[in-house]
Amino acid sequence: MQALVLEQSDGETIAHVKPVSPEMLPAGEVTVDIDWSSLNYKDALAITGKGKIIRQFPMVPGIDFAGKVHHSEDPRFHNGQAVLLTGWGVGENHWGGLAEQARVKADWLVPMPEGLDGRKAMIIGTAGFTAMLCVMALEEGGIRPDSGDILVTGASGGVGSSAIALLSALGYTVTAVSGRGTTYDYLRQLGATSMLSRDEFTQDSRPLEKQRWAGAIDTVGDKVLAAVLAQMNYGGVVAACGLAGGFALPTTVMPFILRNVRLQGVDSVSVPAARRVAAWKRLVKTLPEAFYQHATREIALAEAADGAARLLKGEITGRTLVKIR
């Protein structure tokens, strides 16, 4: 089989597509023939070696994939069944989806939801799945479409663009924050009603600013998240799921104790099975058909390493779909 393999030489990460024997796949109850994968921010960090994502080499990256069961030792899955996977450390410490086959634990797989196929599942991918978890966090915090405006940072990325499409479809009014003015038309097509430059959120902010947002989905962290927290309405909720701008949080307790603001962390790696299934059902029901048309760029497995470099440079908007077969 063909796989994108990461190896290390003199401290540098080397990525190349090469033949790999299926016998080399790690242990697991289910072997999947992969049709589609995608490029996520974490994949880009792993492939380029820009982040300490990979701890052991060689490694096949790819934190999500969709395909059909090739062989199963678990009664929950049968040969030929369509399945998908996101998270669980796949592509980080267990060989992942940027290959023609993967062998994984049965507990990590999700049967393909009704109304979805492998290509659409990977257009959504980990990014869309994470965005849905963020939307659910806002809902569980009591934020409704009539509560006020919702802010989405890192809006032109995979999570951000998916979040805008979901929120818009659910009736929320969305303001998008992006560092690239060239993406504004794209973000409006997804459903954002207004745009703000990232520069407005990268300066040191006061502990409390003017109240502007009922809810927010933040993919950036650091000063951007601190600025967002300072601008939240009383009782507002911020779902934080990323650290593209850094892992620090230079803020104070003031938004939390004076404005009753809630900061909800959102993890997409170790989500329990029942919540995974619920999130995927919501995604199928909520995302408009147009999302699958204008939010996607499709590449071959051989182009994945170059795509990872471009993603980190901010040259890619929306989702990058990797066609494996």
Give pLDDT tens digits for 64-77: 999 999 999 999 99
Q: Are 135 and 170 in contact (CB under 8 A)?
A: yes
- Using 50, 70 and 90 to split pLDDT, how confident is the model at 52? confident
Provide CB contacts within 8 A for 75, sequence distance 6+: none
| Class (C level, CATH) for 2-112+295-323 | alpha beta
- Residue 180: pLDDT over 90: no
CATH H-level superfamily of 126-265: NAD(P)-binding Rossmann-like Domain (3.40.50.720)
| Mean pLDDT score, 283-292 | 92
Query: What single-letter amino acid sits at 23?
Result: E
Per the DSSP assignment, residues forming a β-bridge with 101 are 33
What is the residue-averaged pLDDT of the chain?
Answer: 94
| Distances in whole angstroms, Cα of residue 225 to Cα of each of 164, 201, 213, 294 | 18, 8, 13, 28
- Using 50, 70 and 90 to split pLDDT, how confident is the model at 295? low
Ranges for all domains in the chain classified under CATH 3.40.50.720:
126-265
Ranges for all domains in the chain classified under CATH 3.90.180.10:
2-112+295-323
Q: What is the pTM of this model?
A: 0.92
Distance CA 195, CA 242 (A): 20
- Residue 205: pLDDT over 90: no
| Secondary structure of 30-76 in HEC code, one letter for each residue | EEEEEEEEEECHHHHHHHHCCCCCCCCCCECCCCEEEEEEEEECCCC
| Mean pLDDT score, 124-129 | 94
pLDDT value, residue 83 = 98
Distance CA 66, CA 102 (A): 10
| Distances in whole angstroms, Cα of residue 32 to Cα of each of 51, 104, 168, 232 | 28, 8, 35, 45
Chain centre to alpha carbon of residue 88 = 13
pLDDT value, residue 31 = 98
